[in-house]
Amino acid sequence: MIVCSCNVLSDTQVKACMAPGGAGPRTPAQVYRCLGCSPRCGRCATTIRKIMNASFAEASADAVEGCTTACAATCLHQAKVA
Ligand code: FES
């Protein structure tokens, strides 16, 4: 499902850039950066935050470090990709 129409980002893409264990992006702005874009209208920020919060809740059960997918070159957390 597309969650950001400006950048054509799906919920799957947002979930994929979240690192188990909470080592990934901590803010919606960092999610945009990890996916190689930036916020435009900002309407999706609340939805992205909800996806992030769900991911954090799931991650608390997993104590694994590192992103689950390769990030864009601008991602601050790219070094964590194995
Ligand atoms: S819908 Fe995501 S920035 Fe506009």
pLDDT at 35 over 80: yes
CA atoms of 82 and 73, how far apart (whole Å): 15
- Confirm whether 6 is domain-assigned: yes
- Confirm whether 69 is domain-assigned: yes
- Confirm whether 82 is domain-assigned: no
Give the domain range for residue 35: 2-77
- Which stretches does DSSP call E strand in the chain? 2-4, 9-10
- Confirm whether 26 is domain-assigned: yes
Mean pLDDT (the chain) is: 80
Number of domains in the chain: 1
The CB of 5 under 6 Å from ligand 1? The reply is yes
Pocket test for ligand 1, best of 14, 31, 43, 48 (most atoms within 8 A of CB): 43
Buried b (16+ CB within 10 A) or exposed e, 41-72: eeebbebbeebbeebeeebeeeeeeebeeebe
User: What is the mean pLDDT of the segment spanning 55-66?
Assistant: 61
- Confirm whether 27 is domain-assigned: yes
CA atoms of 39 and 23, how far apart (whole Å): 21
Q: State what percent of residues in the chain have pLDDT above 90.
A: 49
Model pLDDT, residue 32: 95
Atom of ligand 1 nearest to the CA of 48: 2
The protein residue whose alpha carbon is closest to atom 1 in ligand 1 is 4
Model pLDDT, residue 5: 97
Extract the tokens encoding 77. Answer: 């957390």
pLDDT band (50, 70, 90) for residue 82: very low
